[in-house]
Structure 1
C-alpha cells in the first residue's frame, strides 16, 4: 500500500469541538436582527453594514473561485471581505479553537462537512437568520431531516464522480468504467492504477457512505475489499490526484466532479461518470452566533444566498447549483459523454453515521484501504 501522506479524519476535529473547546464564545446574537425586517429594511441593513466596513469570511471553497466571487460583493457594496481559506476540517478546527477560547473572529463560515455543522449547532455557535431568499431552497431535498434550515444555507455542490484519463486507459477499461464505474474500481484491470483521496474529507466520506452503506446490497464492504486489493495510492487531498490524473500518472480515481471541470474545459483527456445514485457534498454557509461585524455578516449572507450570489459561486466553483430553478449552463454539461446525476442527499441522516458511527465508519474505510 502506497500512502503519500497521513490521512486525517473528520472525527478528530469533531472530538475537538465537543471535548476540547466547549463554550459559546464571547458574544451573543440575542439582540441582533433575525431577518431584514428586524434590521429596519434592506437599506438600513446596508447602511449599518457599510459603517462596519468589513466582513471576515472563513471559507473552505477554493481560493481562486472564492476570491473571484467575493469581488462582486465588494464592488456592489464597497465593503471589504477579509478571506481566511483552508480545508473544511482544518478551517473548522481553527474556528472551534477561537470560539472555545472566547475569541470571535469569523463573520461567516463556509464548509461542506455536515457533521461539523451539527456539532457547532449543539454548542450554540451558529444562529438563526432568515434571508430574503430563504424560500428559494428546498431544504427537505438538499438537507433532509436535518433541522438546520435558517442556520446553514446551501451553496453549490461537489458531486461524487469516478474520473479517468482517456489516454492511459484502454478501450476495454473505459467500457468497464462507463457501464458501472463503481464496480470498475474493484476490477483487477485497474490494479496499481488507482488514486484515492483522504476518507476524512466530506466528499470522499460521502462517496464511500453512498456506495458501502446506502447501496450495500449492490456494493458494500466486499466492494471496498476489492478496491483495496487493487493497491490504490492514498493522498491526503484530492487536488494533487487531479493534477496527476490529468498528466496520466494515474488512470482512475473516485473523487469530485468540480476538480476536473476546468481541466476538461481546457482540453484535458479526462472523462467522468457518476454512480447511480451519487453523493453530493453540499457547500454550506453558517452565521456564527457572535461576530465582529454582525450587520456586514448578515448582508453578506443575504447576497450569498440570493440568486445572484448563489449562481456566481456555482459558476466560479464549477459545481451544480442547489437553489430551486437553477439552470445548468456550464460547459461541462454540454459534453457528449456527460449525464445528469441522480443525487443522494442522505449522508446527514444515514443511521450508521450518527454519533460515534461516523468516526467508526471513517476508521473502518481507512483500515480497509491500508490493509
Structure 2
C-alpha cells in the first residue's frame, strides 16, 4: 500500500462559506458528549480502530487532528451517524458535522458544490452505486488510503470499486407485523398477499432511492413470486415516505403488517407489540462511501473513511444493519448474507420509471 500523499488529490483547505450552501432540509448534527450516550448502540464486542498503519499514516492522523473537523453527508440513519460522530470525536478529538438526507437531496448538494467550487462535504455515504461510480469516474473521488480499508479483514477486492467508492454497511429491511392485530404473525412475503390483509391493513414504502429499484423490481419477485409488486398493489396498502414512519405506524397499530422495516427486536424488547422475520435471502441496500477529491479537510476525510470500516466504526454505522466485518455486535447480519443487487439497473432513469409505475399501481 502506498500511503504517500498523492500530488493529484489537491489536498488543500478551501475557503468561503461552508454552511450557506446547505439546504434547510438537512439535519446538521455536531458530535459532542460520550460514545453511546444517545443511540444505545451495543458495545459489548471488542472495539478496535484497526491496523495502526505505517509512519505515513500516523503523520496523516496528526494532520487530521490539526484540521480539527470533518463533514460527512449520508443517508444512513441519524442514530448510526450520531453514534459514529461521537465515537470518532472521542477517539481523535476531531469534530464531525453530519448532514443527513435522502440520496436525491445529497446528490443535488454535492452537484451544487462541485459546480460552484464551494466545497462543504468531505465524505459522502449513500445508497446509489451508479451515482458514486460516475463521481469517481470523473475524478471527483479520491482513493481511500487507510490500513483498515487495505490491510484488514475488510474485503477490499469485493467492496472497494475502481471508481474509489467503497461499501461500508448495508441497510437491511424485512417484513414485520403488529402482534396485537396479527397474533399469528407472518412467515414470509407471500403472507402479505393474504386477502384478509387487504384494504389498508398493510403498509409499504414510497420509492425514493435507487435501492428501492432492487427492492420492488428484483428482490420481492424472487422471494414472493413473480409480479409481486402488482399483487401487493392489489392489496391497497397504505403508503409511507420511509421505513421509519412505516415502523411507527406498525407499532401504533395503524397497520397490521409492513413490507419493509428494520428488524423489530429492539422495539419488541422495549414493549412495543411488534415482531419481524427474515427470508433466507435478506434484502439490503449497500451504502457506498466516497472521499471528495476537493474535500476541505482531506486528512480528516481519509481518517473518517478508514474509521468507517474498523470494528469501532462498524459498531456505529452498522447498527441494526449489515456489517462489512464479522463479529459486530450491533449488526443484524454480515453483508455476505445480503441478496446480490443488479447495480447496473439502479440508475436515476430507472428510479424515475419506478416512481411512475409505483404511482400508477398504488394510487
TM-score, length of structure 2 as denominator length:
0.76
1:329 aligns to what? 329
2:277 aligns to what? 273
Structure-2 separation of matches of 1:290 and 1:310: 26
User: Could you say if the C-alpha distance between residues 354 and 82 of structure 1 is closer, same or farther in structure 2, counting changes exceeding 3 Å?
Assistant: closer
User: Could you say if the C-alpha distance between residues 228 and 66 of structure 1 is closer, same or farther in structure 2, counting changes exceeding 3 Å?
Assistant: same
Say if 2:342 is the partner of 1:347: yes
User: Could you say if the C-alpha distance between residues 38 and 240 of structure 1 is closer, same or farther in structure 2, counting changes exceeding 3 Å?
Assistant: closer
Structure-2 separation of matches of 1:303 and 1:332: 20
Q: For residue 281 of structure 1, report the CA deviation from its aligned partner.
A: 0.9
Structure-2 separation of matches of 1:332 and 1:56: 27
1:30 aligns to what? 9
1:360 aligns to what? 353
Q: For residue 273 of structure 1, report the CA deviation from its aligned partner.
A: 1.9
Structure-1 separation of matches of 2:331 and 2:156: 27
Structure-1 separation of matches of 2:11 and 2:351: 35
Say if 2:196 is the partner of 1:201: no
2:139 aligns to what? 124
| RMSD across aligned positions (CA) | 3.1
2:27 aligns to what? none
**Tell me, which stretches of 5 or more residues in structure 1 are unaligned?**
1-27, 334-339
Q: 1:161 aligns with which of 171, 174, 193?
A: 174
Structure-2 separation of matches of 1:360 and 1:330: 36
TM-score, length of structure 1 as denominator length:
0.75
Cα deviation code 1:186-233 (max 9, x no counterpart):
2211102011112123554332133356x29x6232x22221111111
Matches within 5 A, 1:35-74: 41-74=56-89
Q: Alignment length, in residue pairs? A: 315
Say if 2:202 is the partner of 1:189: no
Structure-1 separation of matches of 2:143 and 2:80: 27
Contact 2:149 / 2:306 at 8 angstroms: preserved in 1? no
Structure-2 separation of matches of 1:342 and 1:244: 28
Contact 2:179 / 2:275 at 8 angstroms: preserved in 1? yes
Say if 2:149 is the partner of 1:134: yes
**Tell me, which stretches of 5 or more residues in structure 2 are unaligned?**
1-6, 13-50
Structure-1 separation of matches of 2:109 and 2:328: 35
1:11 aligns to what? none
User: Could you say if the C-alpha distance between residues 331 and 119 of structure 1 is closer, same or farther in structure 2, counting changes exceeding 3 Å?
Assistant: closer
Partner of 2:292, secondary structure, is: coil
Partner of 1:280, secondary structure, is: strand
